[in-house]
Amino acid sequence: MNQTVRQRVIGFATRRTRGSREHAQASAVLAVGYVAQLVFQMGYFLVLTRMLGVERFGQFATALAAINLVSPFAGIGYAEVALVRISSNRDETGLWATNSVAATVFLGIPLSIALALACYLFNSPHWIDWYLMLGLALGELTLVRGCNVLARVHQARREITRTSMINVAIAAVKAVVAFGLLIAGQHSLLLLIIFLNMSLLPLLVYLFHSMTRFAPYHGMSWSALNANMGLAFSFTSGVFSKAVYTDLDKLFLARWTAPEIVGMYAAGYKMLSLAFLPIRSILEATFPRQVERAAISGRSCATFSLGLLAANVGLASIMSVAIYVMAPWAPLILGRDFTDSVAILRIGCILPMLQASHYSMGNYLTAIGRQTVRSTTQMTIVAAYVVIAFLLIPTYSWHGAIWTSLACEGLLVVLFAIACMTFKKK
């Protein structure tokens, strides 16, 4: 009897050690991938600031903000549904890879046309030309998001190396194309968009075709899409909420300020966003594990998630201090026209800490089956964001924009903390 108990204890300890080792390896692989992705994204970003200048970069950033706002509806949350379903059952890989990519492409095309039409009708100096918007939106909403969907599929299967390679490949394509045009002396945004789309399309085709080596091809299933539509829309509302309090400020600034101010603010905010990439590696590597822990018991998931929260906030704190200290060097990197980005970086340096907190707690709520609570809370923040932005941005310009973002991200942390403590007690 004692021998049997001893064997069970040893077996449990062995499985736990193996699981911890796998988690550490997954996080390390994604971390390395995100470092490479960070290098390429930073390179792409810096080339754009040099290629376009502050005014044209402001127009470009405004267009990207509009694209990001509608991007949650290109696929309407089916990428996140695929992540959850495949995490629970790998046999559904082929089904959800096809469903999520098809939904992304079929919805991304009409959204791109709608954005181009809006540019044509408004014909504002704050926006890029309609044909540039069409090309940029098609690339981001169909090609880039399609590749991201397949990265999520591999993430759900815990094939972290493949996930990391896809993320790096997307960033590398953008950086190489932009750098090549800069070296050739071409500063044309039209050429940039054409070459980007010509490079991203074969990448998406290759990634989808290579998926058949991991799972049999499966045609679209309308019944599966309909059965999971409610969950998909729940994810969409959450992702849309995130897009609002990270991108709506650029559109508000474009409405009430000059393109130069938008460009300066967008450059500073982009650097803050890039600082969050290492933490995203931990979040993405650990979410499937959180789902598995939640299937075992709520207490197990809560204990695991609390450790993740502490690690993420600790790493974010280091990033925040680094941003504050190194902010004065920003004009040397971005260009002399971006001097006001220093103040944006120093005021917004706590943004990675706030995001690390609410993303960690939000993933916990999703893992324990409380996605509706997460989405409802985020929609509440959206309403608060719109009100605060209307009050502050027309009067205080970019100061109002950055403080609106910080206030709403902080409020989200508080509300998620209350929700997590409430459900942990249950």
Q: What is the DSSP string of 124-156?
A: -TTS--HHHHHHHHHIIIIIIHHHHHHHHHHHH
| The pLDDT of residue 355 is above 80 | yes
182 and 275 together in one domain: no
Q: What is the pLDDT of residues 97-114, one digit of tens each?
A: 888 989 999 999 999 999
Domain membership of residue 41 (yes or no) is yes
Across the chain, what does the average pLDDT equal? 85
Q: Residues 6 or more apart from 3 whose CB is under 8 A from it?
A: none
- Compute the distance between CA of residue 247 and CA of residue 263 in angstroms, rounded to an integer: 13
Helix axes 78-88, 229-256, angle to 10 degrees: 140
Global model pTM greater than 0.75: yes
The count of domains in the chain is 2
Give the end of a domain, one of 227, 242, 261: 227
**Burial bucket for residue 230 (CB in 10 Å: 0-12, 13-18, 19+):** exposed
Task: Please give the average per-residue pLDDT across 229-249, as a whole number.
Answer: 81
40 and 177 together in one domain: yes
316 and 395 together in one domain: yes
- Compute the distance between CA of residue 345 and CA of residue 322 in angstroms, rounded to an integer: 10
| The pLDDT of residue 419 is above 60 | yes
371 and 280 together in one domain: yes
| The pLDDT of residue 318 is above 50 | yes
316 and 391 together in one domain: yes
- pLDDT value, residue 278: 79
Stated as kind and residue range, the H or E segment containing 405 is helix 371-425
256 and 210 together in one domain: no
AA letter at 35: V
Residue ranges of the alpha helices (H) in 212-276?
Answer: 222-227, 229-256, 259-275
Domain membership of residue 11 (yes or no) is no
193 and 261 together in one domain: no
- pLDDT value, residue 414: 95
Half-sphere exposure of residue 19: CA atoms within 13 angstroms, side-chain side: 13
Q: Quick one: DSSP state of residue 90?
A: G
Stated as kind and residue range, the H or E segment containing 10 is helix 2-70
223 and 243 together in one domain: no
Give the end of a domain, one of 227, 255, 281: 227
- 254 near 389, Cβ under 8 Å? no
Domain membership of residue 268 (yes or no) is yes
| The pLDDT of residue 53 is above 60 | yes
Domain membership of residue 107 (yes or no) is yes
Name the residue range of residue 142's domain.
Answer: 26-227
Domain membership of residue 10 (yes or no) is no
| The pLDDT of residue 321 is above 90 | yes
Max mean pLDDT among 149-153, 178-182, 268-272, 281-285 falls in 178-182
218 and 285 together in one domain: no
Domain membership of residue 188 (yes or no) is yes
Domain membership of residue 303 (yes or no) is yes
Give the end of a domain, one of 227, 242, 267: 227
Task: Please give the average per-residue pLDDT across 29-36, as a whole number.
Answer: 73
191 and 247 together in one domain: no
- pLDDT value, residue 326: 92
Domain membership of residue 14 (yes or no) is no
Check residues 214 and 339 and name the one with the higher pLDDT.
339
204 and 64 together in one domain: yes
178 and 76 together in one domain: yes
